[in-house]
């Protein structure tokens, strides 16, 4: 079916330090809650002892990670009871109260977040954040009044709670705007010389709240851009600074409409410089280097520490952080969270201990590269219509639109957005297309082996694969807007096509990873389409092609099946112009017919038919292959069923855009049958 919208990354539903879960179902059946610790712990919140209040908050923070306990807390008005402790006279209580609410928001899901906002948790949270900002300069010493916690520790928990709420609740974003909390985030951002952890949390939150927030854009002043631009101009070489600069770049991109045209040009160059630097770093080399640096440091401190670190020891909270990131990315891709994550006993507020400097640096590097790629993807999509706008552009009578407004030629409705000439030039000048290609080949075998071998570094494995998936999606989005030479010329494109094809067969696990399959098939589809229009040989053998498509078309994800069929159509169309290709065209034709007749999804059936039209549209080899597989009679046999299914299932099951394309295919099927009948009469 030819053209689709480019993928655009939405921010995930929760912060990297929150554990998203399925929405909690509240129940009125108190009998199921007899053993709940909620009542006892909530009573302890009223204790005159700060230690008891701190213990209660910390315990709640851990207990709510088991999602079945959350209704018990909600029924007992936990939010209203914990909320005032955000302003407790004890810093320790403030921090653990913020942590408890943070975990409740993360583990409870969107409904709980909305409920927390309705219960006005943002009022004490806003007051706490403002108090923290006032206290930053007064708390330069590690403690206040002998307390172990610092104001910045409390602020970090509070910022992460704010992040969770704004991720999940549009009401929270509205309150954020009206309360002027952007100033608070800016203050936290400016603490990067003293507290990088707080600055990165604030940068993540700001990157989230600035996305598609027109109300905020209109209120942004020069001071905001000044803070972000100052961060971009920092020259520190640490990976955490690289991540901070990348997140600041993302916020600047979100706020760009608040800049003048002249400022936008300068800012785009600064953004490209930041993203290019992030992507230019070779994680395959840096991760082993960081591991060796950690080993050397620990061996100097104590030999036993080295042995403990490189066996099965894991820092407290490390496993929880790894799991919460897994769920965050599943949320981003619209999948259900893994149930095991609600059963962890670790405090999900915990981050890597501050003495794990090298591992923190490695994670920051991969996060920076993943974020950079997501920003570039959104640059390629930023001006596309929203889902609602797409529906408005489609008539309420899809058949009329498709018959009159959609022809066999490409429609602008389904054409990928071309980058503006200026942005295109800036990306090229910073070698970003080449860097994306390199990241699509990631991860490094050496880095994978090292991280697989040592448990404490194993958390990086999924992050490395995530970077590759983002690079593949990014490659898919930019291919249509880049010229051939910028991507390595004909030989470079052929090499990339071979690499993308081989990725599918890199391991049995690859065929089970739907996110990876969607990314790699989308990229390969775009690449082969460009090669076909440039008459560049694709270099895939019939055996490779059929194995690849067999694997992809068996995937449960519709988009993967659609991509595989499009690849068959593109390749078959190219082969139909060559000599002695009838046998391969027969293989492709039979595969497409089989799917068109048997797949339960109309979009997939339509893509198979569309591919058949492309493959057998013209040429002696195509005509010969079509006769050998009885193409005319097969299509005549499936035509009534396709039309009936479209009438029966169409409007209730498929979007207006999908219906528009499917109706166009119905019309084209009728025309194609007439074409085949005319061929047969000759």
Residue 407 has pLDDT above 50, yes or no: no
pLDDT at 6: 60
- pLDDT value, residue 554: 79
- Residue 464's region, left for phi above 0, alpha for psi from -120 to 50, else beta, is alpha
Residues whose CB falls within 8 Å of the CB of residue 110, separated by 6 or more in sequence, listed in order: 13, 23, 168, 169
Domains 36-137+150-219 and 539-681 share a fold: yes
Mean pLDDT of 18-47: 64
pLDDT tens for 74-105 read 999 999 999 999 999 999 999 999 999 999 99
Whether 5 has a pLDDT exceeding 60, the answer reads no
Q: Mean pLDDT across the chain, nearest whole number?
A: 81
Higher pLDDT, residue 552 or 307 = 552
pLDDT above 80 (res 582): yes
- Cβ contacts of 672-676, under 8 Å, gap ≥ 24: 672/612, 672/613, 672/635, 673/632, 673/635, 673/636, 673/639, 675/617, 676/616, 676/626, 676/631, 676/632, 676/635
527: tokens are: 């690449």
Distance CA 196, CA 476 (A): 34
Grade residue 20 by pLDDT with cuts at 50, 70 and 90.
very low
- Model confidence pTM above 0.85: no
**pLDDT of 528-563, one tens digit each?**
998 888 888 877 777 777 777 777 777 888 998 999
Count CB-CB contacts under 10 A for residue 118.
11
Looking at the predicted structure, is the pLDDT value of residue 169 above 90? yes
Closest CA relative to residue 546, chosen from 510, 588, 508, 500: 588
- Residue found under tokens 């930019």: 478
Using one digit for the tens of pLDDT, what is the confidence trace for 273-286? 999 999 999 999 99
Determine the pLDDT at residue 352. Answer: 58
The architecture in CATH of the region 539-681 reads Alpha Horseshoe (1.25)
Output the six-digit token pair for 535: 């008459």
Q: In angstroms, rounded to a whole number, what is the distance separating the alpha carbons of residues 391 and 651?
A: 13
Report whether pLDDT(55) > 50.
yes
Domain boundaries, the chain: 36-137+150-219, 539-681
Position 7 scores a pLDDT of 59
Can you tell me the mean pLDDT for 426-441? 86
Q: How far apart are CA 98 and CA 82, in angstroms?
A: 8
CATH, domain 36-137+150-219, list 3.30.70.80, 3.10.580.10, 3.60.15.10, 1.25.10.10: 1.25.10.10
pLDDT score for 135: 87
319 has a pLDDT exceeding 90: no
Max mean pLDDT among 28-32, 154-158, 442-446, 575-579 falls in 154-158
């Amino acid at each position: 079916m030819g053209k689709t919208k480019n993928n655009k990354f939405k921010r995930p539903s929760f912060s990297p330090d929150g554990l998203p879960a399925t929405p909690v179902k509240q129940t009125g059946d108190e009998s199921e809650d007899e053993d709940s610790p909620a009542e006892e712990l909530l009573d302890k919140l009223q204790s005159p002892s700060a230690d008891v209040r701190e213990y209660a908050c910390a315990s709640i923070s851990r207990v709510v990670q088991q999602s079945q306990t959350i209704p018990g807390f909600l029924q007992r008005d936990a939010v209203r009871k914990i909320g005032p402790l955000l302003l407790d006279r004890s810093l320790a209580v403030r921090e653990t109260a913020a942590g408890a609410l943070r975990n409740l928001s993360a583990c409870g899901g969107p409904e709980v977040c909305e409920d927390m906002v309705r219960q006005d948790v943002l009022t004490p949270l806003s007051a706490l954040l403002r108090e923290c900002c006032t206290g930053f300069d007064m708390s330069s010493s590690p403690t206040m009044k002998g307390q172990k916690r610092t104001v910045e520790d409390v602020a970090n928990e509070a910022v992460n709670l704010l992040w969770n709420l704004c991720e999940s609740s549009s009401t929270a974003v509205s309150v954020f705007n009206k309360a002027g909390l952007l100033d608070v985030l800016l203050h936290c951002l400016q603490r990067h010389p003293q507290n990088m952890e707080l600055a990165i949390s604030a940068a993540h939150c700001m990157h989230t709240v600035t996305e598609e927030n027109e109300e905020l854009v209109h209120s942004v002043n020069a001071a905001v851009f000044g803070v972000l631009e100052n961060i971009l101009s920092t020259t520190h070489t640490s990976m955490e600074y690289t991540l901070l600069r990348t997140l600041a770049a993302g916020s600047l991109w979100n706020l760009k409409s608040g800049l003048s045209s002249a400022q936008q040009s300068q800012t785009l160059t600064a953004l490209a410089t930041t993203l290019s630097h992030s992507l230019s770093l070779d994680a395959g080399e840096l991760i082993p280097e960081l591991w060796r640096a950690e080993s050397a440091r620990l061996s100097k401190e104590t030999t036993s520490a080295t042995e403990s670190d490189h066996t099965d020891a894991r820092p407290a909270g490390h496993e929880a952080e790894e799991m919460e990131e897994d769920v965050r990315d599943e949320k981003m891709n619209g999948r259900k969270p893994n149930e095991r994550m609600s059963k962890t006993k670790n405090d999900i507020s915990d981050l890597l201990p501050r003495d794990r400097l090298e591992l923190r640096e490695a994670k920051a590097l991969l996060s920076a590269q993943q974020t950079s790629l997501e920003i570039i993807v959104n640059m390629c999509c930023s001006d596309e219509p929203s889902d609602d706008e797409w529906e408005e552009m489609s008539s309420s009578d899809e058949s009329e639109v498709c018959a009159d407004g959609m022809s066999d030629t490409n429609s602008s409705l389904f054409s990928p957005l071309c980058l503006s000439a200026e942005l295109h030039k800036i990306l090229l000048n910073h070698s970003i297309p080449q860097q994306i290609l390199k990241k699509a080949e990631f991860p490094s075998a050496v880095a994978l082996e090292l991280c697989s071998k040592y448990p404490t570094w194993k958390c990086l494995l999924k992050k490395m694969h995530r970077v590759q998936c983002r690079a593949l999606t990014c490659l898919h989005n930019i291919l249509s807007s880049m010229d051939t030479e910028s991507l390595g010329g004909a030989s470079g494109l052929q090499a990339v096509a071979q690499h993308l094809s081989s990725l599918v067969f890199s391991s049995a696990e690859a065929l089970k990873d739907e996110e990876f399959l969607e990314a790699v098939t989308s990229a390969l589809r775009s690449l082969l389409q460009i090669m076909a229009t440039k008459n560049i040989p694709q270099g895939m053998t019939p055996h490779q092609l059929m194995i690849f498509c067999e694997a992809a078309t068996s995937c449960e994800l519709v988009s993967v099946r659609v991509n595989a069929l499009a690849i068959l159509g593109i390749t078959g169309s190219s082969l139909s112009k060559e000599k002695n290709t009838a046998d391969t065209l027969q293989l492709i034709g039979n595969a497409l017919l089989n799917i068109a007749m048997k797949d339960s999804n109309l979009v997939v059936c339509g893509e198979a038919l569309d591919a058949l039209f492309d493959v057998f549209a013209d040429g002696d080899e195509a005509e010969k292959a079509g006769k050998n597989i009885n193409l005319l009679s097969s299509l005549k046999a499936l035509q009534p069923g396709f039309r009936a299914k479209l009438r029966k299932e169409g409007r209730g099951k498929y979007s207006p855009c999908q219906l528009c394309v499917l109706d166009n295919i119905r019309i084209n099927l009728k025309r194609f049958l007439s074409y085949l009948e005319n061929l047969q009469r000759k």
